C-alpha cells in the first residue's frame, strides 16, 4: 500500500499553492505589515524610516494563512486514512518539530547578534521549542502552530476512538457544525463583534479556523469519492463559515489600522485557492507532464521553513541592510531572495538531520511503551 502522506506530497497543485501562499504572507509582512501594523516586538528592531504606505498588490496576502489551513485539512484527510494513532502522531511530530526547532533557533541567534536583550529572547525561544501556544513566540508566524496542533490532536482523538471508513468524514462534519454553532448562534446572541472571535482562546478552540480545516477535509473526501448533493450542501455551508471568519479578520484589521479593509479581494483570493485545492487531483496529470516533480515537491517542503523564518528574522536583516545604507525596497528584495534560499538549505540539510534524531527518539519511546504494557497489565 502506498503511503498517503507521500501521495499528498505528489500533488503538484498542492505544493505550488503552498509555496504561493507562503510567498503571499511574506510579501504582506514585508510590504504592508511592517509599515502599517506597528508590531511592538518588531518596533525595537526595525528602523523608523519605513515607508508609510503599503504595496496594494500585497495588502491581502494575509489570506495565504487561511489557504494553508484548507490545505492542512486536505492533506490530513489523506495521511490519516488507515493510520493508527501512533503512526499519525509520529508523522505529525516529524513534520512540525524539526523545522520549528531549526528556524526558531536561527531567529534567536540572529536576535542575539543584533544585541536584543536575552531576557526578551529566551522565554520566546523556549515557548516556540515546546510549542506552548498561549505565550509569546520567537517569531510572530508561530501563532498558527498552536492551531494546527489543536487540529492534529482532535484528529488523533478521532482515529483512536472512532471506527469505520467514514471516521474522518464524521470529523469534518462535526468540526463544521461546531463552528456553525459559534458563528451562527452564539456569536449573534453574545453581541460580540466578529473580530473578537479572533482572540487566542477561540483560535485554539478551533472556533475561528475549524471551518477551514473541515473544508479541506471535505474537498479531499469528495475528490476521491465524488460529490453527492449532501456533501455539496455541506461544502457550501463551510464556505459560508470561512467567509464569516475572513470578514471577522477584515473587521479586526480595519479597527487596528483605522482604515477600511474590504472583504472582496481576500475572499476572491481564498476562493481561487479553494478551487485549486479541490481540482488538485484533476490537475495532476497535466502538471506532471510539464513540470519537474522533484523541484515542485521541494518547493512544497520549503513552504514551512519559509513561513517560520521570514517574519522576525526578515525584520532583523532588513534593518541591518538599511543601517548599512540600503533603501527599504532593495533590502526587501534581497531578503526575500535570502529567505527562499535559506528555506531550501533547511529542507536540504538541516531538517533531515533533526528529523532523523526525532524519529529515533520516538521509535525508542514507542518500543519502551510496547514492552511496558505487559508489565503494567500484571
220 three-class SS: helix
Q: What value does the mean pLDDT take over residues 367-378?
A: 68
Cell representation of residue 190: 453574545
Residues 125/106, Cβ–Cβ less than 8 Å = no
The answer to whether residue 276 scores a pLDDT higher than 60 is yes
CA 131 to chain centre: 14
The answer to whether residue 56 scores a pLDDT higher than 90 is no
| pLDDT tens per residue, range 105-138 | 999 999 998 878 899 899 999 999 999 998 889 9
The answer to whether residue 200 scores a pLDDT higher than 60 is yes
Q: How far apart are CA 272 and CA 67, in angstroms?
A: 10
| pLDDT tens per residue, range 63-88 | 999 999 999 999 999 988 877 899 99
Cell representation of residue 7: 501521495
CA distances from 29 to 33, 179, 265, 308 (A): 4, 28, 17, 12
Please write down the long-range contacts of 264-269, taking CB distance under 8 Å and 24 or more positions apart: 265/59, 265/60, 266/60, 266/62, 266/63, 267/243, 269/24, 269/60, 269/63, 269/67
The answer to whether residue 47 scores a pLDDT higher than 70 is no
**What are the residue boundaries of the structural domains of the chain, listed by start?**
4-370
For residue 375, count other CB atoms closer than 10 A to its CB: 7
The answer to whether residue 186 scores a pLDDT higher than 90 is no
| pLDDT tens per residue, range 297-338 | 999 999 999 999 999 999 889 888 988 999 889 999 999 999
| pLDDT tens per residue, range 87-104 | 999 999 999 999 999 999
Q: How confident is the model at residue 15 (pLDDT cuts 50, 70, 90)?
A: very high
Cell representation of residue 45: 528592531
Q: What is the CA radius of gyration of the chain?
A: 21
> Given this model, what pLDDT does residue 106 score?
97
Per the prediction, the chain carries an average pLDDT of 89
Amino acid at each position: 500500500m502506498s503511503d498517503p502522506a507521500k501521495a499528498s506530497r505528489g500533488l503538484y497543485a498542492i505544493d505550488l499553492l503552498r509555496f504561493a501562499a507562503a510567498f503571499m504572507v511574506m510579501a504582506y509582512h514585508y510590504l504592508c505589515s511592517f509599515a502599517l501594523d506597528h508590531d511592538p516586538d518588531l518596533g525595537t528592531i526595525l528602523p523608523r524610516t519605513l515607508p508609510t504606505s503599503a504595496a496594494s498588490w500585497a495588502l491581502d496576502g494575509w489570506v495565504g494563512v487561511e489557504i494553508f489551513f484548507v490545505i492542512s485539512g486536505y492533506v490530513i484527510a489523506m495521511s490519516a486514512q488507515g493510520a493508527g494513532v501512533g503512526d499519525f502522531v509520529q508523522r505529525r511530530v516529524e513534520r512540525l518539530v524539526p523545522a520549528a526547532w531549526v528556524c526558531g533557533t536561527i531567529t534567536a541567534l540572529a536576535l542575539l547578534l543584533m544585541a536584543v536583550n536575552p531576557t526578551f529572547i529566551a522565554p520566546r525561544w523556549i515557548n516556540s521549542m515546546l510549542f506552548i501556544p498561549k505565550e509569546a513566540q520567537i517569531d510572530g508566524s508561530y501563532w498558527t502552530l498552536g492551531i494546527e496542533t489543536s487540529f492534529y490532536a482532535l484528529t488523533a482523538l478521532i482515529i483512536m476512538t472512532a471506527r469505520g471508513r467514514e471516521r474522518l468524514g464524521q470529523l469534518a462534519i462535526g468540526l463544521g457544525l461546531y463552528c456553525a454553532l459559534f458563528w451562527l448562534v452564539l456569536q449573534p446572541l453574545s453581541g460580540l463583534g466578529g473580530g473578537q472571535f479572533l482572540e487566542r482562546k477561540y483560535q485554539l478552540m478551533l472556533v475561528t479556523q475549524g471551518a477551514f480545516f473541515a473544508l479541506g477535509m471535505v474537498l479531499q473526501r469528495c475528490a476521491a469519492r465524488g460529490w453527492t448533493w449532501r456533501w455539496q450542501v455541506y461544502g457550501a455551508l463551510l464556505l459560508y463559515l470561512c467567509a464569516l471568519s475572513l470578514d471577522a479578520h477584515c473587521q479586526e484589521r480595519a479597527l487596528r489600522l483605522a482604515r477600511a479593509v474590504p472583504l472582496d479581494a481576500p475572499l476572491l483570493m481564498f476562493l481561487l485557492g479553494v478551487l485549486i485545492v479541490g481540482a488538485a487531483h484533476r490537475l495532476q496529470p497535466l502538471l506532471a507532464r510539464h513540470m519537474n516533480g522533484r523541484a515542485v515537491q521541494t518547493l512544497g517542503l520549503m513552504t514551512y521553513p519559509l513561513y517560520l523564518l521570514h517574519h522576525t528574522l526578515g525584520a532583523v536583516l532588513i534593518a541591518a541592510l538599511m543601517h548599512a545604507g540600503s533603501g527599504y525596497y532593495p533590502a526587501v528584495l534581497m531578503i526575500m531572495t535570502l529567505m527562499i534560499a535559506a528555506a531550501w538549505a533547511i529542507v536540504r540539510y538541516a531538517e533531515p538531520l533533526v528529523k532523523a534524531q526525532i524519529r529515533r527518539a520516538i521509535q525508542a519511546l514507542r518500543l519502551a511503551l510496547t514492552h511496558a504494557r505487559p508489565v503494567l497489565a500484571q
